[in-house]
Structure 1
């Protein structure tokens, strides 16, 4: 019995340690083992999508030309999201400043979804600037899954490097 317990612990630890790695389109990052990377065809500026095995969580990384300061771009998000998503019951959960790839970044977490006819979603949006470009990381899942998926989002965000 003890032998099986040790094997189980090793397998569980391995799942936490092993990660996939993506490099392309001027970025690189690690992602949770089992998640899949794919190109996004229908969203302007989207570089890559990373999806959980169940399809319940998704991360999309965008790149857009910086035509203003990082602070102004973040303020645009904080002003425009409530107006653009008011019909979906936008609610800001948190915001903070962090460091991604050695650069200052802004994070905004919000939920949408008013009633059973709308998809409820919690999004963690991270915005950073490198050179002449903004990089936006949009991490999405159902509000009930957010705390479980957030460590997976951290793997991607904390390992992102602009090449």
Structure 2
């Protein structure tokens, strides 16, 4: 069993990877919102709503957020990066299967403006990285709210495998919730039922 201190080191490393690699995903989110405003037809990702996993679960709560997760996973929260964050990890490694949420205050901004501010780097510090290749974009429903999903393949030196990362952005009650689902690309579909446990049970304040 790895120490909580080591778990914290892993989490801080992964936050750094996300914040220094993931800005490009917000371009896709903004495209989705622009499409919505122009009345274009958006594809709704229902794949998580239509699957389930027969596995024991636990419930975790922090920062007003509540969700179920597979019993064998490790869940931690931290705010050392300046934003409240929650991590659910299948295992402790840099290539790990994981779910995470970062909470960003909107300070009264609308949904569209909050996402534009994130894209501009005003709410979350980030830089564009060419290692994130966007494959597709969708909308999805989480806790009865529309969320915006971008799916990426990431070939980055931080990882020893090609990773698939789904970034999901949801705005509710003056906060933006940035969520990531991460797994090696070749394993992602196999892990979807476990991600579904989390997504289908998420409740936001």
TM-score band, normalised by the shorter chain? 0.7 to 0.9
In the TM superposition, what are the counterparts of 1:58-73 in structure 2 within 5 Å?
58-66=98-106, 68-73=109-114
2:172 is the alignment partner of 1:134 = no
2:88 is the alignment partner of 1:50 = yes
Q: In 2, distance between residues paired with 1:21 and 1:77?
A: 30
Change (3 A) 1:145 1:73: farther
Return 5+ residue gaps in structure 1 as ranges.
1-14
- 1:25 is matched with 63
Q: Is the 8 A contact 2:62 2:77 kept in 1?
A: no
- 1:101 is matched with 143
Q: In 1, distance between residues paired with 2:104 and 2:188?
A: 26
Cα distance, 1:58 vs structure 2: 1.3
Change (3 A) 1:156 1:41: same
Q: Which one has the bigger strand percentage?
A: 1
- 2:49 is matched with none
Cα distance, 1:118 vs structure 2: 4.9
Q: Is the 8 A contact 2:164 2:185 kept in 1?
A: yes
- Specify which of 128, 131, 137 is matched with residue 84 of structure 1: 128
Change (3 A) 1:69 1:25: same
Cα distance, 1:112 vs structure 2: 1.4
- 2:30 is matched with none
Q: Is the 8 A contact 1:93 1:111 kept in 2?
A: yes
What TM-score results when the alignment is normalised by the length of structure 1? 0.74
Question: Larger Cα Rg: Structure 1 or Structure 2?
Answer: 1
Cα distance, 1:155 vs structure 2: 1.4
Which has the higher relative contact order, 1 or 2, with Cα contacts under 8 A spaced 6 or more apart?
2
2:184 is the alignment partner of 1:146 = no
Q: Is the 8 A contact 1:74 1:106 kept in 2?
A: no
What TM-score results when the alignment is normalised by the length of structure 2? 0.60
Cα distance, 1:48 vs structure 2: 1.1
Q: In 2, distance between residues paired with 1:46 and 1:131?
A: 16
